[in-house]
Structure 1
Amino acid sequence: MTSDFLIHIVDDEEPVRQSLSFLLAASGWRSRKYASAAEFLDTAENLEDSCLITDLRMSEMNGLDLLRRLRKNGNTLPVIVVTGHGDVLAAVEAMKAGASDFIEKPFSEEVILSTLKRVCAAAQEKSQVRQQRQAARDKLESLSARERQVLDGVVNGLPNKSIAHNLGLSPRTVEVYRATIMTKMQAHSLAELVRMAVEGSDHYAARD
């Protein structure tokens, strides 16, 4: 569930931090507060299943610089940038730098909560897709070279006889390889096998 996400609040104004933290707690979200971007970078630990809400204008490191630092380090956690009315152009730059969304001050409780829910749901979905792809890659790597050759034929829609002819094998041997591949890939159907092959390797990407 998206409410299981930990929300990191970075703002150099304590009343803003306290107010937003209280709102999130009342709505079932966990949060942590930071008085500066530097404090967040120094003390925030595991950022999986997390979302960052950061003010754009802060002393020392601003929200845009924080976002750029995170993306440069390869961190993909969702980031919501809070901006004043006159900072819309800067907020657009934040979106280009990888922000998930931006909210203009003053914002209502409904706006911040609905944005947070949408952004975290999208991040959760992306995370699940990444996990599925990694699982598919791991299973593909468990196949032998010959099993990968047979799988190539299966994904290309070739019947066992054609695969056997191309590889210099008997159709019965190809059947045995296919059964082994299904077991190693933990696929329950041909469609599932093909889906995992496509998910796990660009080699099987659609061709024109």
Structure 2
Amino acid sequence: MHRTHSIFFVGGSIRIRAAVTSMFADSGWQITPAEHYEEIDIVPVSGGVVLCFIESGRDVERVQAHMSLKGHWLPIISCSDKHDTTLAVQAMQADAQGHLSWPFTVAEFTAMLTRIEARMDAFVRRQNARSLARKRLQPLSPRERDVLGALARLGSNKKIALELDLSPRTVEIYRSKIMQRLRVDHIAQALWLAFQSGEFVAYETADAVGDGAFPEELQEG
């Protein structure tokens, strides 16, 4: 039984959107067609997927940009009638979770879901955590962000002071202000948000750190 129940079909011509919508609706799927993702007002908290008809890999990136603005992510499966391997690779490099060649059948779509649904869930959790972390970090001033970034990379107050031309005491004051603004009890919680946001270190580093790298209580708040 698939956890995915809602399809948002984005892009393509009016004819293709009508054909895809009819195919899924006739099979009992809930499907919402739109020319552009920004036309979609309401998406489910879970169980949704964007089926994106693409002309280039940038089409996937555009959908993701709008998801980022809304702060809510859905997995993307790309599709195209070009039967172009290069296009499929571009879509996957842009974080599409799968690619189908149109015309395809509902059975082919559900078979793909079976293969990639766990990966889709992990992607959504990661991206939603990233959006939430970035929202949590918004109250920081530019200088506080500099200190947090240096803390994520260097760790030591002395090293941070040298890099930012501050005294160790001033660094300690900034650390305290950062914790106050983020409403956290431990600097490790602030670092966790920095890793999750991907703004201060490569996002791959956050993945490598993993959900178990800090005690559970340090990941809360």
TM value normalised by structure 1: 0.54
Q: Provide the secondary structure at the position in 2 that maps to 1:143.
A: coil
Indicate yes or no: 2:10 matched with 1:22: no
Distance 1:149 1:16 in 2: 48
Given candidates 59, 68, 85, the residue that maps to 1:92 is: 85
Taking the aligned partners of 1:106 and 1:114, their CA distance within structure 2 comes to: 11
Paired with 1:181 and 1:75, the residues of 2 have a C-alpha distance of: 33
What SS does structure 2 have at the residue aligned with 1:95?
helix
> Which residue of structure 2 lines up, in the alignment, with residue 46 of structure 1?
40
Give, as a single letter, the amino acid of the residue that structure 1 aligns with 2:134. R
Structure 2 alignment gaps of length 5 or more? 65-74, 206-221
Deviation string, structure 1 residues 117-154 (Cα, Å, up to 9, x no partner): 55565455434433333333344342234534543453
Percent of aligned positions with the same letter in both sequences? 19
Partner of 1:167: 166
Aligned partner letter, 2:55: R
The amino acid of 1:79's aligned partner reads I
> In 2, Cα distance between the equivalents of 1:169 and 1:97?
46
Aligned to 2:214: none
Residues 8, 31 of structure 1: 8 Å contact kept: yes
Structure 1 unmatched runs, 5+? 34-39, 54-65
Q: 2:100 aligns with which of 94, 99, 102?
A: 102
| CA contact 2:60–2:78 (8 Å) conserved in 1 | no
The alignment partner of 1:204 has SS state of coil
Q: Which residue of 1 aligns with 2:62?
A: 74
In the TM superposition, what is the alpha-carbon distance from 1:67 to its structure 2 partner?
1.0
Which residue of structure 1 lines up, in the alignment, with residue 132 of structure 2? 135
RMSD between aligned residues: 4.6
Does residue 1:147 correspond to 2:151, yes or no? no
| Distance 1:121-1:21 versus aligned 2 partners, 3 A rule | farther
Give, as a single letter, the amino acid of the residue that structure 1 aligns with 2:127.
Answer: R
Give matches, 1:184-199, under 5 Å.
Answer: 184-187=181-184, 189-199=186-196
Give SS of 2:109's match. helix
- CA distance in 1 between counterparts of 2:196 and 2:140 reads 15
Alignment check: 8 A CA contact 2:49 2:77 kept: no
Q: Give CA-to-partner distance per residue, 1:43-71, whole Å, 9 cap, x none.
A: 99318544227xxxxxxxxxxxx511771
Tell me, in whole angstroms, the C-alpha distance in 1 between the residues paired with 2:106 and 2:121. 24
Q: 1:146 to 1:114 in 2, by over 3 A?
A: same
* 8 Å CA contact retained: 2:137, 2:182: yes
TM-score, scaled to structure 2? 0.52
- Aligned residue in 1 for 2:4: 3
Q: Distance in 2 between matches of 1:149 and 1:44?
A: 33
The one-character-per-residue Cα deviations of 1:153-208 (angstroms, maximum 9, x if unpaired) are: 5321114x6657862353xx6555423312323445444322322343544346xx
Distance 2:112 2:145 in 1: 44
